[in-house]
Structure 1
Amino acid sequence: MQRHTYDYGVIGNCAYTAHIHTDTSIAWMCWPRFDSSFIFGSLLDKEKGGEFSVKPLEPDFQTKQYYVENTNILCTEVVSETGKYRVTDFAPRFYQNDRYYRPLMLVRKIERLDGNPRLVVKCAPKGNYGEITPQATMGSNHIQFLGLDAHVRLTTNISLNYVMSEESFVLNENKYLVFTYGAPLEGPLLETIENFLYKTKNYWRDWVKTANIVNFYQRAAIRSALILKIHQYEDTGAIIAAATTSLPESPGSTRNWDYRYCWMRDTYYTLNAFNNIGHFEESEKYFHYILNTTIEETNRYQPLYGISGQKALIEKELDLAGYMGNQPVRIGNDAYTHIQNDVYGQVLISLLPLYADKRIIFTERFDSSELVSKTLDMIEKTFDETDAGLWEFRNLRQHHCYTYLFHWTGSSAALKIAEVIGDKAMGEKAARLQKRSREMIQKCYVPSKKGYAQAVGVERMDASTLQLIMMNYLDGNTQEAKDHLKALEKELHAKDGLFYRYKHQDDFGAPETTFLICAFWYVEALACVGRLDESIKYFENILSYSNHVGLLSEDVNEKDGGMWGNFPQAYSHVGLLNAASRIARKLDKPDFL
């Protein structure tokens, strides 16, 4: 059985991302924001999705795709009967005039490598999720696309007639395609783009050099850090779960969700990943997003918000064919209405470094004590509620072990913050909630399994309780932690490190694929309990489920290793970074593997 893979590289500049197929097609790109309509969307509909490709005239050709080392610049080499050429795709990003330059600009450089290749360039953008086909008109050296929300144009040194009529031409010199939204390209084409390419390459390489990325499988960790970086919407600091919508968790499952939003539940793990690589800029921007998003909330936090803090993310279904025919295609996400009470602890523990990390001076702490107090109050108010849990069950509410674990960790963080700022009342409340949380967690213990179940009153296991070990609720050196891990393995370990979230029936039946973040949690838990050889072995195996340029999906089918779910999944790359960091600390040696 052939393994299903996502044959795309992804570029971005913290303002937008673009998925580029190995055949050079821009298969997915949303403008002007991550959560806007696609402007190219053949990923979800070949007919309505438009096209932007640089293909040879001949129908039979081979390609090779790769990143320029330590950058988010993507190269696709194409070989056909008439010759060989390379397409270099990038989103400009560099520092100038005391700020980051990150325009809504997609640049494609085409270079002849051998022979006399004949190419056909197609550029047919769409609007309103395929419902609008703009009118293309020729300028002096550009094509203007009329009927979209802003000025969209393609500036190029290729004959405009060839592009407009989709005729072939011989590539005998470097060609450039600059696709812009809003402000057009200003300045001479060749000189400006070569300068942008040089500066963008240097920016990404300098960013990597300033990251403290561990030596354990460093190349994979670097790629994960780079892809995670471009999932941050820099204007607000939000980090999206993925840049795509409606890629199914498994074929025909209808588990097709829009992930182009910011989940509060991911806060701790994402910030931990950035802290592990020593990048505070991203953490600080994310903190600002959290502060701005939650400042007016008085009763509870939503599980997720829009990238500029929108609360209502109303779910709709679109009239699109869907990825490989998988429907529905959804935009919006009704999970914003769910009750997920673990979010309060996630927020509190994410604030702790602002007080505990001495590298952050006091004036940079943004005086978030009011936010700490408010969030602690929310734990107290909602303590006895059942909730939808981490996995966002739509028709199941329980007293989840994971929720109480983050009540415990959040209260523990608040206790430490209270000590730093000398707030006795806050400290006393945090201590009370810490004790109550421990009592609820213990109610999840199942003696016959020697492990902690998904929720109070049930015996089914849940991979989220791996966090009991990783958050040091259970000391990894104790028999209790080792027994709990064995209980989880017995029910949820698929093979070779892959791990199911849970096995029971939910709103859409039993899960058919494993969840990659759970696999990385498992790797971390193994390291915590001293089973380091297994941890390393499974880490190495999980890496094999990445695609040709090292990107990870949300889910993996244990039977054939197929990639499924939204792609690339920021959570999966967070998992890789955190697992690599955990193993490296255990190894505590500089050897490159």
Structure 2
Amino acid sequence: MEKHTYQTGIIGNCSYIAHVHKNTNITWLCWPRFDSSFVFGSMLDTKKGGEFSIAPSSAYTSKQYYLENTNILCTEITTESGRYKVTDFAPRFQQFERYFKPLMLIRKVQLLEGNPHIKIKCQPVYDYGKSELEVIRGSNHIEYTGCGEKIRLSTNAPLSYILEDQYFILKDTLYLFLTFGEPLEGPIQTTADRFLNQTTSYWRTWIKRSSIGDFYQEQVIRSALALKIHQYEDTGAIIAASTTSLPEFPGSGRNWDYRFCWLRDTYYVINALHHIGHFEETEKYFDYITDISFEEGLRYQPLYSISRQKNLVEKIADHLEGYLGNGPVRIGNQAYEHIQNDIYGQALISLLPLYTDHRFVFSERKDSASLVEVALRRIEHTIDEVDAGIWEFRNSAYLHCYSNLFQWAGCSAAAKIARTINDEALEEKAVSLMKRAAKHIEDCYDPVRKVYTHAVGSPHLDASTLQLIMMNYLDPQSERAKNHLIALENELKTPNGLFYRYLHADDFGKPETTFLICAFWYVEALACVGRVDDAIREFEKLMKYANHLMLFSEDVDEETGSQWGNFPQAYSHVGLMNAAYRISNKLNRPLYL
């Protein structure tokens, strides 16, 4: 089978994310929120998904790249008749003492050489492709109505050619502003160039203020930039991916909507942001988590919407063909109903830097004791309970090693916080619960194979138990940690350095692709136990699984190296950032501030 990679890059401004294909088409864009209907969705249906392209009339080659250290994407198209460049970006910069991040997509089309013959096609849709919008021509714009808000294309390109679907020769630089709700008010050319310069400056300053070591620095920078725009700044939530229903492998039916915020990944995301020194994003995410903490009873959901909505009912959009014909297309995610007991510990660990890192002023947290106490009550309520686990098994429940590990780690964090705020009773309760969680973890140990299995009473192995080493439940220098790692790599590691989550059958049969973040966890575990040369070698192997823009998917096919699953996967990039940080620390590489 031919290797499959996603042929798109992403742009965004923490209000929205758009996917730009190498053929110049915007293949995915949801407005007004990450989890709204797509305005352009040809990624999931080439007929009903609409189109926004600047395509040539004849055969062409394409080159796509980011402006260095930005989320601004350039696509160069070369044909026999000429060459042109499309620069796509979402404006983001400081204005009037706040961030300007409108629902506005700007496309700058520049002539580079010759007389290219191009056609601009702009056909937005709504209600996941069920609604074709009414087209109204203005003096220097085209308006599209029928989705509750006005979508407007303001441009200096000939409107007649766009409306009549005609090719024309590109002679001058063209600018296209597509807006949702509030239209462009101002001159087209000077506004576009000003916004481009200010957005370029914003992203480059953001990177300059990041603490990133020199180990694979370029890849870490790209991952940091990708992670940044997966945060919905209005609430602080960070989504798993901007897409829905890109299959884990062809014909699998494992097509999930990832446009939500999973609490199970809180610790990893906070770690990645903390490592690069970005506290603004960390605190916004913290506020999102704590708002959930105070609202809920004894249970969290595994995931919430970006505005903390709970009801994420999963529906099938059966009118859409799916990615490359792979249905079903799912809107919403049934996993919100699942029981996942690791999430209480994840939330507690995410609070720890606020008390142990002196760059945060913990005395400002007036709610410290009550917040920790509530979290511990939730752990106490669920600590002996079976759950769906990190991988969200839909029809089976176990007493998972991973869930108890994060309950243990959360209680450890709670004990440290309690000591910081001088609350002895809270510390005593946290330590008591740590011991109960540890008992369940030890019940997963197989002394014959010298490995921790994925759940009490189960023989199966699971990559999530690599975290026993990274969370320091197992002393990384101990024989038990080293033997556990060897057993996992012998069973779950592939010859090409990838890692399966598990190999036993689940609700959909046996997994056929590897899960990329597990491979990065493996790299971290190698570094932790002192196998630094192995960690570097395995990290370098993983770099070839990026697409042409250093963007990573959720899943990778071991045989072909194909990318599958939702793309780009924020947590794959988090895994890369944390693995690189772990190796840098072992190498004592300098940080460039």
Q: TM-score, normalised by structure 2?
A: 0.99
Residue aligning to 1:327: 327
- The residue aligned with 2:571 is 571
Counting only pairs closer than 5 Å after superposition, residues 22-33 of structure 1 correspond to structure 2 as: 22-33=22-33
Question: Structure 1's 366 and 4: CA in aligned 2 closer, same or farther, altered over 3 A?
Answer: farther
- Whether 2:158 is the aligned partner of 1:169: answer no
Matched, 1:225 2:243: no
Per-residue CA deviation, residues 238-262 of structure 1 (Å, 9 max, x unaligned), is: 0000000000001000000000000
What is the rounded CA distance, in whole Å, between the counterparts of 2:344 and 2:147 in structure 1?
A: 40
After TM superposition, give the deviation of residue 424 of structure 1 in Å: 1.5
Task: Tell me how far 1:363 sits from its aligned partner.
Answer: 4.7
Distance (Å, rounded) in 1 between the aligned partners of 2:582 and 2:146: 51
Q: Which amino acid aligns with 2:577?
A: L
Share of identical aligned residues, percent?
61
Match of 2:139 in 1: 140
- Secondary structure (helix, strand or coil) at the match of 1:52 reads strand
Query: What's the counterpart of residue 212 of structure 1?
Result: 211
Q: Which amino acid aligns with 1:104?
A: L
* 1:497/1:522 contact within 8 Å kept: no
SS at match of 2:24: coil
Partner SS for 1:173 = coil
Q: Take 2:148 and 2:294, find their aligned partners in 1: how far apart are those partners? A: 31
Matched, 1:295 2:297: no
Question: Does structure 1 retain, via aligned residues, the 8 Å contact 2:125–2:133?
Answer: yes
* Residue number in structure 1 paired with 2:478: 478
What is the match of residue 358 of structure 2?
358
1:441-456 to structure 2, matched below 5 A, reads: 441-456=441-456
**Equivalent position of 1:76 in the other structure:** 75
Counterpart amino acid of residue 558 in structure 1: E
| Cα distance per residue 1:461-509 (max 9 Å; x no partner) | 0000000001111111111111000110111111232000000000000
CA distance, structure 2, for counterparts of residue 498 and residue 216 of structure 1: 20
Corresponding residue number in structure 2 for 1:267: 266
Q: Which residue of 1 aligns with 2:99?
A: 100
The DSSP-based 3-state class of the residue aligned with 1:9 is: strand
1:382 offset after TM fit, Å? 1.1
- Structure 2 Cα separation of the partners of residues 262 and 293 of structure 1: 12
1-structure distance, mates of 2:581, 2:170: 46
Secondary structure at the aligned position of 1:295 is classed as: helix
Q: How does 1:391-540 map to 2 (within 5 A)?
A: 391-540=391-540
1:191 counterpart residue number = 190
- Give the 3-state SS of the residue equivalent to 2:248 in structure 1: coil
SS at match of 2:99: strand
Q: Structure 1 residues 364 and 545 mapped into 2: Cα distance closer, same or farther (>3 Å)? A: farther
Q: Tell me, which stretches of 5 or more residues in structure 2 are unaligned?
A: none
| 1:323 partner SS | coil
Match of 1:386?
Answer: 386
Deviations 1:71-126 (A, max 9, x none): 00000000011100000000000011110000000000000000011110000000
* Per-residue deviation, residues 529-588 of structure 1 (Å, max 9, x unmatched): 111111101101101100000000000000000000000000100000000000000011
- 8 A contact 2:143–2:150 mirrored in 1: yes
Q: Which amino acid aligns with 2:42?
A: S
Provide the C-alpha distance between the structure 2 equivalents of 1:46 and 1:370, rounded to a whole number of angstroms.
52
Task: Provide the residue aligned with 1:375 in structure 2.
Answer: 375
**Using the alignment, how far apart are the partners of 2:467 and 2:198 within structure 1?**
41
CA distance in 1, matches of 2:105, 2:364: 35
Give the distance between the partners of 1:131 and 1:291, measured in 2 at CA.
38
Match of 1:201? Answer: 200
Measured in 2, the distance between the counterparts of 1:510 and 1:364 equals 49
Distance 2:33 2:155 in 1: 24
Q: Equivalent residues in 2 for 1:537-576 (5 A)?
A: 537-576=537-576
**Inter-partner Cα distance in structure 2 for 1:363 and 1:475:** 32
* Matched-pair contact (CA < 8 Å) for 1:228–1:573: yes
Q: Deviations over 1:427-473 (max 9, x none)?
A: 11101001111111111000111010000011110000000001111
Match of 1:50 in 2: 50
Alignment of 1:2-17 (within 5 A): 2-17=2-17
**1:15-62 deviation line (CA, Å, top 9, x unaligned):** 00000100000000000000000000000000100000000111x110
Task: List gaps (5 residues or longer) in structure 1.
Answer: none
- Offset at residue 367 of structure 1 (A): 2.9
In the alignment of these two chains, the number of paired residues is 591
1:18 and 1:121 map into 2 onto residues whose CA distance is: 18
- Residue 52 of structure 1 contacts residue 123 of structure 1 at CA under 8 Å; is this kept in 2? yes
Contact kept, 8 Å, 2:552 with 2:569, in 1: the verdict is yes
Q: After TM superposition, give the deviation of residue 366 of structure 1 in Å.
A: 5.6
Q: Distance between the aligned counterparts of 2:277 and 2:305, measured in 1?
A: 27
Counterpart AA for 1:468: L
Distance 1:383 1:32, change over 3 A: same
Q: Distance in 2 between matches of 1:519 and 1:27?
A: 29
Give the whole-Å Cα distance in 2 for the aligned partners of 1:546 and 1:19.
16
Contact 1:497 1:523 in 2 (8 A): no
The answer to whether the 8 A contact 1:388-1:394 is kept is yes
Q: How far did residue 169 of structure 1 move?
A: 1.2
**In 2: Cα distance, 1:366 partner to 1:148 partner:** 44
Distance, in Å, in 2 between the alignment partners of 1:585 and 1:510 is: 37
* Contact 2:141/2:155, CA 8 A, preserved across alignment: yes
| Distance (whole Å) between structure 1 residues aligned to residue 142 and residue 115 of structure 2 | 26
Q: Distance in 1 between matches of 2:591 and 2:236?
A: 35
TM-score, normalized by length of structure 1?
0.99
- What's the secondary structure of 1:586's corresponding residue? helix
Is 2:253 the partner of 1:254?
yes
Q: Letter of the 1:500 partner, please give it.
A: Y
User: Does the 8 Å contact 1:355/1:365 carry over to 2?
Assistant: no
Deviation at 1:174, TM superposition (A): 0.5
Q: 3-state SS of the aligned residue for 2:125? A: coil
1:336 is displaced (CA, Å) by 0.3
Deviations 1:350-371 (A, max 9, x none): 0011111111113543633322
Alpha-carbon separation, structure 1, partners of 2:388 and 2:154: 49
Match of 2:156 in 1: 157
The aligned amino acid for 2:438 is R
Q: Secondary structure at the match of 2:39?
A: strand
The Cα offsets for residues 253-280 of structure 1, whole Å up to 9 and x where unpaired, read as 0000000000000100000000000000
Aligned to 2:584: 584
